[in-house]
Structure 1
Amino acid sequence: MRTPQPGTEDRPELVANYLGQLEEVHWSPIQTRLEDSDNCSTESLLLLPNIKRLFLSPFEPTFTISHPVVPDFQSGLQSLTIDGCVIRPAFLQYNLSRCKALQYLDLDLTDCYDIKAVDLKVNLHNFGSVLREFGQDLVSLRLRFYDCEEYAQGKIGSLKGLKRLRHLSAPVFVLVGVCEDAIPLPEVLPGSIETFEMHFVDEYGLANSDTLGTKSAANDDRVVRLLNNNQLPKLQEVVYGCYMDGQDDRLTNFTQVEGWSVKNEAQLRRSFAIEPFSRRIELVRGE
């Protein structure tokens, strides 16, 4: 019989006595089968004595909630990445509620749709509700969505209650919605935000075709309004991802915003002559 390690007395014996020094786990249970099920649970990983960072990147399994072995136990997990997973808002709530020490969350929402639904749309509103209630201690939040916005239902909405959040990265439509459903960016961002990375994709030409494929159109005016907004005094850097063809001078508008500059302006102007491509405009305060 193994002697439990110090500080593990409140964990089940089988969990407490294994991998006691493990701080980082990368788990990709590709085509894992539990009996005749493809469901996986993170319960035993959260109970690891010194777990700090957890990366989940399955291909097939659906992550589900299991009955807590120690219901009131709080994990020491500080960083969680969920990549390419099929999860429900309830699964995110389960993990956030068990991990009050969590500061860094990287969440790929692309496949987080209801597999029983016909339209396969991701309900962003439900994930937003979970973040507002259980993500209040987050310092860094990255939300990813690789499909067209037509596969998104609703929006994440306001994150103003996340008063410790300093770094945020997300496609704009994921945060604020689209068209008549969209809300202004300042109504979403908490006053604590220091760096904000947002993504737009303009109309783009399809190879060997005169047809334009359309995704989220970039809105320079929206970004300029954000930079001029005095409600975000701690905001120091905005990264603006969008498609640029080099035909239109889209940098001048940003260089004229008082108190802000385009950090990579020279690099961008050189790149315009090479080929149209998605670019990152790095906007910084006070340079």
Structure 2
Amino acid sequence: MERNGAEFRFSATSLTQAEFERIKALAFRLAGINLSQAKKSLIVGRWNRRLQHYRLGSFSEYLDLLSQPEARGELQTALNLLTTNETNYFRERQHFDFLRERVLPKARQQGRFRVWSAACSSGEEPYSIAMLLAAELGNVPWEVLGSDISTSVLTTARDGIYAMERARPIPQEYLHRYCLKGTGPQAGTFRVDRAIRERVQFRYINLNEPLPDIGVFDVILLRNVMIYFSAETKSQVVTRMLPALTADGHFLVGHCETLNGVTDRLAMSTASIYTRASRCA
């Protein structure tokens, strides 16, 4: 392999504190992500592949490349690698129990029911919601929007194909009704049935920027993502999302998260579940 006519041998590159500060500022500017010092090893592990791809000798060189106007595609790749996408089917099952027992019975007497799964990662959360709605709402029209800042996980979500071990949390009834077992070259995988996939839309949405026109939703889930935001960013993101919530809608966060001190426009219904505060309804 050659670079500028000379032999190029790549070896894993270390990350200086000055380079980390540049990356931290970039992640915050692009996505509101607040990288901690503990993420340095993650950055090295994931970005070293990009340095090798471009035959660069330092993270400073890669950052300089990212600053070029024509590097927009690579900038998205770099951002994809910085985001941690940990998710699972029917994660935090109490939320699904709440929807089934408290929310969906009322939805059966209304018009179209809409749910937004923000920061949806590779699609397990919106597909879990879609299976629940399909099972509970009968002929009531419904739709689910899943959004994320990572284009790579959105590709996985749209395909709806997962390793079989990821199916374990799915209730057996839903697994049989809404999922297809892979055979032949697809053995060891399952795919969400087309009837469910067609009811779930996936879009790239950066919650750190003005939102596109996506309409209003009866339920918004912003779960297990605010832990990466600063207090100021949390407030800005939630404020940006609130116009997309119906007057009697529900806003769900992760069980380890709270909106206390983030906004006074939502009131806690129960732990991690919020509705509009009465004075803001």
Would you call these one fold, judging by a TM-score over 0.5? no
- Class of the TM-score when normalised by the shorter of the 2 chains: under 0.3
Question: TM (normalized to structure 2)?
Answer: 0.25
TM-score, length basis structure 1 = 0.25
Structure of greater relative contact order (alpha carbons < 8 Å, 6+ residues apart): 2
More helix by share: 2
